[in-house]
Amino acid sequence: MRGHDWINTCLPDELILEIFRRLHSKASHDACSLVCKRWLGLDRLSRSTLRIGASGSPDLFIKFLAQRFVNVKAVHIDERLSISLPVNTMQGKRRGRAENVLTSVKLHYTAQTRPDKEDDCESFCLTDSGLTAVADGFSKLEKLSLIWCSNVTSFGIMSLGQKCIFLKSLDLQGCYVGDQGLAVVGQCCKQLEDLNLRFCESLTDAGLVELATKCGKSLKSLGVAACARITDESLEAVGFHCKSLETLSLDSEFINDKGVLAIAQGCPLLKVLKIQCINVTDSALMVVGVSCLSLEMLALHSFQQFTDEGLRSIGKGCKKLKNLTLSDCNFLGDRGLEAIATGCTELTHLEVNGCHNIGTIGLESVGKSCPRLTELALLYCQRIGNFALTEVGRGCKYLQALHLVDCSSLGDEAICSIARGCRNLKKLHIRRCYEVGSKGIIAVGENCHSLTDLSLRFCDRVRDEALIAVGQGCPLQYLNVSGCNQIGDVGIVAIARGCPELAYLDVSVLQNLGDMALAELGECCPLLKDVVLSHCHQITDIGVSHLVKNCQMLNSCHMVYCPNITAAGVATVVSSCPNIKKVLVEKWKVSPRTKRRASAVLSYLCVDL
């Protein structure tokens, strides 16, 4: 029978709930909740995660949420997120209805009381009362993130620990939580597996030692950063009690070899180790190489006391290592990287950032010995030459992502070798490598037919013919050619015609780009969502109107310092794109009418300072 509601008539609640649980996007959940009252109620039961930004009255807001979403297991509260103000254009019934909708996963709320009092910052911050409401309302809570909730204290954490006994993950980044709160969490939350204490400045060794003693058996991941009163004493307790620890992230000036040694010797299951501690030396790294045989990821940042001896120990012992990051380690050289390459042949990800003593020889050994490498990032590596990437092209056939930043000795020869040898390449990002030109990028277009993400920022030698080859050979979805001054309409037109699935485009600072390219993009790339046109002096309102005519999915458009785009062009973008969320322009280019219609999506360049 036409018009009969067979779904609601035939399907029981359990089956509809199961369907809702299989929806992965927030938009799909929201759409289902608007079908009818029954689906709204069932959708509320199916929601397991809430994300909340800074809000006008968060404590009261959380009570409302707890009444509506009773099966929530994960709550993320991030006070860094901006406050959403009510849209002025809403009138009458639609406005009243919109203010009462609380079914969105990412929710913002604006206080109705004293809206004009700007100095009342307390009303925009979660307090212990709100955290108590979280504990009372979400009894099934397993994961809680409190990011920069500066008004939360130990009292709120104590209430949380006592009532949310199933808690498995707790992120307290930027919260001023003391030892008492952490001790109660350790005493009550015996299933706690993941704990992040970054920037918890009021914590001392007493709190972390107490937590490790009480619930150390279940703890698998720990992050400590910028906690001035957390020392080696805490790490010794973690090493003694947390035998199941798999992930450790340390960033502190107050931790020495003693603490890292305790972790290495006491946590044999350690798989991920990230260290940024200027007082840790080779002695600790050598013990890691001997004791942590299950290590899969190692990140060493800003080390002035590490040498090749430490990396040799890692290469000898950590045969399962797959991911290595070396950042600003000035005393590491080719011999250390060579030891890693020959010893850790399972390596899949390598990042070398600002290690000025690592050169061509070290990276050559990676190409020869690490055939499973899938991602390589070389940043500020002036001593690495073309022959290094030639070896990578020969030996690393599975390479999918390559990042090059300020590598002045790398040129077309290196890129050609990668293109011919690594035909599975999907992502290529190059920035300020001034010896890379059209020849290398043409080789990429001819050989890398899986490439979807290409960024060539400030590569002055890349011309239109390079983009013609890329457009003919690569199904790009992301393209950034910012600052490539020799690229013009011809190259971008070729991309538009050859890459219909393009979703992101940055053509900023292209002085030779005009309206013809924008017209072709509007005609051929209907999936375009984000476009950056800033500093393009030849683009006019006509080109912008052609661009937005068919790009109905456009979410953001940046067009500052485009002298030939006027208030009319800005109005065209705002009125023609139903999904637009951000337009970045100079403030003086926005007419009063456009400002009234779309103030929520307009962002201004700060030129009035």
Q: What is the average pLDDT value for the chain, to the nearest integer?
A: 89
Residue 195 near residue 173 (C-beta atoms within 8 A):
no
Helix (H) or strand (E) holding 515: helix 515-524
In this model, does residue 118 exceed pLDDT 50?
Answer: no
* pLDDT > 70 in the chain, percent: 91
Q: How far is CA 598 from the centre of its chain?
A: 28
Q: With contact defined as beta carbons under 8 Å apart, do 428 and 454 qualify?
A: yes
Q: Report the share of the chain in percent with pLDDT over 90.
A: 73
Where in the chain are all domains bearing CATH 3.80.10.10? 452-462+476-608
- Give the H/E segment covering residue 265: helix 257-266
pLDDT at 606: 60
pLDDT attached to residue 56: 61
Which parts of 113-217 are beta strand (E)?
Answer: 143-147, 169-171, 194-198
d(C-alpha 487, C-alpha 462), whole Å: 7
The residues of the chain that CATH labels 1.20.1280.50 are 7-46
Q: Which residue, 419, 416, 367, is CA-closest to 396?
A: 367
User: Quick one: CA dihedral 104, 108, 111, 116, positive or negative?
Assistant: negative
Whose CA is closest to 147, among 171, 167, 178?
A: 171
Asked whether the beta carbons of 292 and 270 are under 8 A apart, the reply is yes
User: Which bin fits 301, alpha (ψ -120 to 50), beta or left (φ > 0)?
Assistant: beta
CA 121 – CA 58 distance, rounded (Å) = 12
Q: Is 200 helix (H, G, I), strand (E, B) or coil?
A: coil
Rg, C-alpha atoms of the chain: 28
Cβ contacts of residue 414 below 8 Å, gap of 6+? Answer: 385, 386, 388, 389, 390, 436, 440
Measured between alpha carbons, how far is 102 from 20 in angstroms, rounded to an integer? 18
Residues in a beta bridge with 544: none
Residue 322 has pLDDT above 70, yes or no: yes
What one-letter code names the amino acid at 158?
M
Give me the mean pLDDT over the 497-521 stretch. 97
Spatial distance between the Cα atoms of 200 and 251, rounded to a whole number of angstroms: 12
**Backbone CA torsion sign across 479, 480, 486, 490:** positive
Tokens representing residue 42 in the block: 């069932």
CA–CA distance, 478 with 505 (Å, rounded to integer): 6
pLDDT of residue 23: 85
Q: Tally Cβ neighbours within 10 Å of residue 322.
A: 20
Residue 286 is encoded by which pair of tokens?
């050598």
The type of residue at 210 is E
**What is the token pair recorded at 153?**
């204290």
Read off the pLDDT of each residue in 438-443 and give the average, rounded to a whole number. Answer: 98
From CA 171, how far away is CA 221, in angstroms rounded? Answer: 11
CB 320 within 8 A of CB 340: no
pLDDT tens digit sequence for 144-193? 999 988 889 999 999 999 999 999 999 999 998 899 999 999 999 999 99
Architecture (CATH level 2) of domain 452-462+476-608: Alpha-Beta Horseshoe (3.80)
Judged against a pLDDT cut of 70, whether residue 82 lies above it is answered with: no
pLDDT digits (tens, 9 = 90+) for 515-553: 999 999 999 999 999 999 999 999 999 999 999 998 999
One-letter amino acid of 402: L
Average pLDDT for residues 48-63, to the nearest whole number?
78
Please state, in angstroms and as integers, the Cα–Cα distance from residue 22 to each residue in 6, 17, 37, 46, following that order: 21, 9, 20, 10
User: Does the CA dihedral 208-214-215-216 come out positive or negative?
Assistant: positive
Residue 319 CB neighbour total at 10 angstroms: 14
Q: Is the pLDDT of residue 67 over 70?
A: yes
Q: Where are the beta strands (DSSP E) in 238-357?
A: 247-251, 272-276, 297-301, 323-327, 349-353
Amino acid letter, residue 150: S
Give the pLDDT confidence of 397-427 residue by residue, as tens digits: 999 999 999 999 999 999 999 999 999 999 9
Q: Give the model confidence (pLDDT) of 572-603 as tens digits.
A: 999 999 999 999 999 999 999 999 988 889 99
The residues, any chain, with a CB within 8 Å of residue 146's CB and separated by 6 or more, are 77, 126, 131, 152, 171, 172, 173, 175
CA dihedral over 277, 279, 285, 287, signed as positive or negative:
negative
Output the CATH code of domain 7-46. Answer: 1.20.1280.50
